[in-house]
Amino acid sequence: MTGSQGMPAFPRGHMLPAGYEHRSPTGTGAAPQHVEAVLGSLFPREVCTATAASDPVALPPLLPGEEACIRRAVERRRRDFTAGRACARRALEQLGIANYPLLMGPDRAPVWPDGVVGSITHCPGFAGAAVA
């Protein structure tokens, strides 16, 4: 379960782990490398992860097939989609799969390469992906 900032949600009155604060992962507080390390620590070694700030200037361009998936999307959706796909492609590279266009299936979920499962997440200013 996650809270509004994409971080784990804790029930009211629950003691937060030492060093944990409610904050956006890319806002004041955690460095991007720390967020990536934390995300990676949540999974077994076989799962590859990647994170990114959804800064449109720093993001690589979408691959041709991906662009068609969001041709009518508003700017915020385009930014989130681009950041999520960039993270997913970085994670796939760790599996030895490069430049794979992540298209959308009929349910709008990413279509992963054969034999791969994955997940993409995003919130304002942050995106992450995990693949195996």
Smallest CA-to-CA distance from 88 within 57, 74, 64, 109 is with 109
59 touches 52 (CB < 8 A): yes
- Alpha-carbon distance of 66 to 28, in angstroms, equals 32
Longest dimension (CA), the chain: 48
Q: pLDDT tens digits for the chain (132 residues)?
A: 444 444 444 344 434 344 433 333 444 345 556 777 787 788 888 999 998 876 767 788 999 899 889 988 998 888 899 999 999 999 999 999 999 999 999 998 999 999 999 999 988 888 999 999
Please list the residues that pair with 52 across neighbouring strands: 127
Q: What is the pTM of this model?
A: 0.72
**How far lies 37's CA from each of 6, 11, 122, in Å?**
16, 24, 17
Please list the residues that pair with 120 across neighbouring strands: 129
